[in-house]
Chains A and B, each alone.
Chain A
Amino acid sequence: MEVVVQVVFGLIALFILVAAAMVVSVRNVIHSALWLIACFFGVGALYLLLQAEFLAVVQVLVYVGAVSVLILFAIMLTRQISGEGVRQLTSRWPVVLVVTVLLFATVMAPTLINQQWNVPPAPPLGTPEPIAGPAELGRGFVNEFLIQFQVVGVLLTVALIGAIVIAFEERARRRRVLTLAEELELKRLRERATQTETPEPVEAEPVARETRPASEG
């Protein structure tokens, strides 16, 4: 039984770490977001293994359901015309890699492993262990954590309004978003321009900057 749990934990840990490494290293941003979803699923599975079932459900609902869709939409709204093939990491990434690896290998891992944690002994197998479940959690949200619960609700409302205000743009100044067909056409035009080696690049900007007719508002 213990071996099974260990193997499952090892598989989940491997999955999480591989997915996270792909998130930060893949070139295509959309692939990166999809790996992020995989990583969120792995973390949810780890919550299940830690017997926090409600939290696992919340993880899938909020992260996999909401945040990742938000990220995918943001990527689709802001994708540059020549987004692929562009360098995704800054030129200082080796320094960052060294710093983070050193942080993990010399500070975090030795501290965590050498620390005496004084974990209370687990009850012997067979005896049911008192674990707070969703019922206790719900009771806590209407009793001792009531104010915090309300504050988080207000925070979410404010964040929603703030997001709308920040992303709002007056209709007259709105820029047209290119469709996929227009983008492909633009790419083809650029390739043709580079093949024939014409000195002036193809005028692509007017399509992107074209404003909507005022009558539409």
Chain B
Amino acid sequence: MLNAVPLPAVLTLAAALFCIGLFGALSRRNLIGVLMGVELMLNAVNINLVAFWRYFEPRYITGQTFAIFIIAVAAAEAAVGLAMVIAVYRHYVTVNADEVDQLRG
């Protein structure tokens, strides 16, 4: 793996995944679609961490530990975020992000 695939290839893949997730998070109308974009971005960050761990210091566990913590935080974020989506849907009867604009001045 180390000799076959250079590190920039993996990092470029992660960057492309991050940009796709960013596009989804910024341009989806559905709130759940926005959350799915955020999940894609978190996955891209995790790929970065694991790649750096593997190429630079595979004998230490720090990189993998950080990735596992990020997965845990992402799971918490998904749970709270989707609960909020359900609460918003109950109140506004829509999950369209543009129609939830009560705070607009």
Q: Are A100 and B19 in contact (CB under 8 A)?
A: yes
Q: Are A33 and B36 in contact (CB under 8 A)?
A: yes
CB distance from B3 to the nearest CB of A (A): 5
Question: Which residues from B are CB-within-8-Å of A29?
Answer: 30, 32-33
12 residue pairs bridging A and B, Cβ less than 8 Å apart: A9-B4, A23-B24, A32-B33, A39-B40, A43-B43, A62-B75, A78-B86, A108-B18, A109-B12, A117-B7, A136-B61, A166-B80
Q: Are A74 and B86 in contact (CB under 8 A)?
A: yes
Bound complex: CA A137 to CA B55 (Å): 18
Q: Are A88 and B29 in contact (CB under 8 A)?
A: yes
- Supposing A104-B19, A122-B2, A167-B87 touch, asked if A52 and B82 sit within 8 A by C-beta, the answer is no
CB distance from B49 to the nearest CB of A (A): 9
Q: Are B24 and A169 in contact (CB under 8 A)?
A: no
Task: Scan residues 62-105 of chain B and give those whose CB is less than 8 A from a CB of chain A.
Answer: 64-65, 67-69, 71-80, 82-87, 89-90, 93-95, 97-98
Question: Which residues from A are CB-within-8-Å of B43?
Answer: 39-40, 43, 63
Contact for A20 among B20, B56, B78, CB less than 8 A? B20
Q: Which residue of B lies closest to A24 (CB)?
A: B24
Bound complex: CA A130 to CA B58 (Å): 7
Q: Does A180 contact B (CB under 8 A)?
A: no
Question: Which residues from A are CB-within-8-Å of B5?
Answer: 5-6, 9
A residues near B (Cβ < 8 Å) are 1-3, 5-6, 9, 13, 16-17, 20-21, 23-24, 29, 32-33, 36, 39-40, 43, 46-47, 49-52, 54-55, 58-59, 62-63, 66-67, 70-71, 73-75, 77-78, 80, 87-90, 92-93, 96-97, 99-101, 103-104, 108-109, 112-113, 115, 117, 119-120, 122, 125, 129-132, 136-137, 140-141, 145, 148, 152, 155-156, 158-160, 162-164, 166-167, 169, 175, 208
Q: Which residue of B lies closest to A61 (CB)?
A: B71
CB distance from A22 to the nearest CB of B (A): 10
Q: Are B56 and A152 in contact (CB under 8 A)?
A: no
Question: Which residues from A are CB-within-8-Å of B86?
Answer: 74, 77-78, 166-167
Bound complex: CA A163 to CA B77 (Å): 10
Q: Are A132 and B15 in contact (CB under 8 A)?
A: no
Q: Are B27 and A90 in contact (CB under 8 A)?
A: yes
Q: Are B36 and A50 in contact (CB under 8 A)?
A: no
Q: Which residue of B lies closest to A30 (CB)?
A: B32
Q: Are A20 and B17 in contact (CB under 8 A)?
A: yes
Bound complex: CA A36 to CA B67 (Å): 19
- Supposing A50-B54, A119-B7 touch, asked if A89 and B28 sit within 8 A by C-beta, the answer is yes
Question: Which residues from A are CB-within-8-Å of B84?
Answer: 166
